[in-house]
Amino acid sequence: MIPTVDNKFEIINTEELKDITINDNKTATFVSAKIGSGYTEYFKDSYFIIVKNYYSSKNIENKGIAFNEGSQVGIWYYFDESGKLVKEENTDEGYGFTPEKVVEYCEKNKIELPKGYHESGYYTKVRKETLNGKKVWVIKYLIPGGDIQRVVLDGQTGKELEKKVVPFVSS
């Protein structure tokens, strides 16, 4: 399930939001400690999250969808401080291998993707990057023994370009 966002102006209502709110055990909303930044909405049964950032005036600055622990996907909307929509960015442009196909690849290869909100720990990360001028998906996940498996997929075809083990380094 990929959630949806629209291009409508919003004002954050801090009265209704708490640090973590669980709704019907389906969603968890995390509000950053500093208003003037934003919040993230996690969905129990989705690999994707909604991210919304706000100006200190509480007006929406930008919003869109991202992989839980990963890159933006789909169309992101950007607003000026007065609330006027100033830009729509298709973050999937140049990626023929869609976010849904990345999920299928992970399921087929038994790579566990995070769903919903997690307090802490290392979870699979899915990122969009450019490698040698080519758009790619980079998937990093924990493997037995405590190291990280790094897989690079062609952004157009999904073909595996690289697969290597890298040491886990705690930050």
Q: What is the pLDDT of residues 147-168, one digit of tens each?
A: 999 999 999 999 999 999 988 8
Give the end-to-end CA distance of the chain in Å, rounded to a whole number. Answer: 31
User: Where in 15-159 does DSSP place strands (E)?
Assistant: 20-23, 27-31, 38-43, 48-54, 60-67, 72-79, 85-90, 125-131, 134-142, 148-154
Is pLDDT at 119 greater than 70 in this prediction? yes
Query: What is the mean pLDDT of the segment spanning 109-121?
Result: 86
Give the per-residue pLDDT at 87: 98
Q: How far are the Cα atoms of 91, 128, 135, 142 from residue 156, in angstroms, in the given order?
A: 14, 12, 8, 25
Q: Are 10 and 62 in contact (CB under 8 A)?
A: no
Q: What are 33-91's pLDDT values in tens digits? A: 344 567 777 777 889 998 888 888 888 999 999 999 899 999 999 999 999 999 999 99
